[in-house]
Amino acid sequence: MAIYCSRDVFEALEGLTFPADKQKIISHASAQDAPEAVIIALNRLQEGAQYQNMDEVCENTSIVCSLEVYSVLQGLEYPADKNAILAYAESRGATEMAMEDLRRLPRGHRYRSIGDICSNIPAS
């Protein structure tokens, strides 16, 4: 799966001085009024680890779904199959990039949550 940081993560951590630990990173993002999805992703960082730069933060948050996928699927009723997920995302105005990610979901599965969806999107 593709691991990357979204623009929201970069904006939330703009001006942060490295090295930084999890607490400093989350405190900085919170002070920047970062979206909840960014805080959730940053909570995946290891306690006690020192991150030397933004690349290390991105690698260790393991964001496998774009924040847009999270956002566009807010309110989706579960369980949902691939067709329902695609129709819902399209009705919410998902970008082509988000739709491409969702089209890679395996068929024949009923997804129980956004986490279930994200963990089943294969690498492009």
Distance CA 118, CA 112 (A): 11
Successive 10-residue mean pLDDT values, the chain, 124 residues: 62 95 97 84 90 88 71 94 98 92 93 83 69
For residue 1, the model assigns a pLDDT of 36
For residue 120, the model assigns a pLDDT of 80
For residue 3, the model assigns a pLDDT of 44
Write down the residue that tokens 């997804």 correspond to. 111
Which of 34, 31, 27, 30 lies closest to 11 in space, CA to CA? Answer: 34
pTM above 0.85, yes or no: no
Q: How far apart are the first and last CA of the chain?
A: 7
Q: What are the sequence ranges of the domains in the chain?
A: 7-61, 67-119
